[in-house]
Amino acid sequence: MVCFCDIPQESLGIHVAKYGRFGIAFKKAFLLSRGANPVYYVAASAIVQRFDRARMTALLNAAKAGHAVDVLTGPPSFMVDTARQQYFDEMMLTYRAIHDLMNQKLLQDSLAGPGSGAFDSLFDLQYFLAFQIFSYIKFFDPSFADDDPENYYMEREWRVVRNVSFELSDVCAVLVPQEYLGEITARFPELAVEPIG
């Protein structure tokens, strides 16, 4: 995985303080042609609602027993609040367990090994989710200050889930500390070299 940031040069201060004062700039169109996509920032502590299976079962049993159950007014009694990252982590464990069970079942069935429709479809789905969805999710702690080294939200990160090959002509600028400006400009006169404060 290769990561980039989409930060205006005048706002690079926090990023430079964290990662260093050298950078290579590419046109967005070039990165898009290599598969780049912005990450989806998710506030780890944001509260979301999820199903509580025990409450849901109790509600269904009450309805089956003939008790009046009102699920149309107020918050559903089978929903419970949880932090988004905790919910995601739990669902990832469930996803992996289901994936492993399905994989095991398909591999046990001699008719459903690699090359069969069912196996290939499961593999394609797992690959798609892992590399085209989950790879672009980034949790952050919204309680951190903007300049906190552990605050990743301000990075405006883009990712490519493979290597990115490029030619010197693909580089639109090289960002360097002022003290290296002359040396880099002399060595690479064809590049736009810009100082970073």
The CA dihedral of 16, 17, 19, 25, to the nearest 10 degrees, is: 0
Instruction: Please state the domain extents for the chain.
Output: 1-44+141-197
Place of tokens 């912005």: 38
> Got the DSSP string for 3-69?
EEE---GGG-HHHHHHH-S-EEEE-HHHHHHTT-EE-EEEETT-EEEEE-HHHHHHHHHHHHTT---
Tokens of 176: 């360097």
Tokens of 180: 């290296």
Q: Residue 111: pLDDT band by 50, 70, 90 thresholds?
A: low
The per-residue pLDDT for 80 is 84
The per-residue pLDDT for 197 is 64
Using CA of residue 27, residue 28, residue 34, residue 39, what is the dihedral sign?
Answer: positive
Q: Which of 161, 112, 110 is nearest to 136 (CA)?
A: 161
The per-residue pLDDT for range 38-95, each reduced to its tens digit, is 999 999 999 998 888 787 787 778 778 887 666 555 555 677 889 999 999 999 999 8
The per-residue pLDDT for 58 is 77
The per-residue pLDDT for 174 is 87
**Amino acid (one-letter) located at 196:** I
pLDDT score of 103 more than 90: no
Q: Residue 116: pLDDT band by 50, 70, 90 thresholds?
A: low
- 67 φ, ψ (degrees, to nearest 5): -75, 145
CA distance 181 to 192: 10
Q: Which of 126, 146, 122, 144 is nearest to 135 (CA)?
A: 126
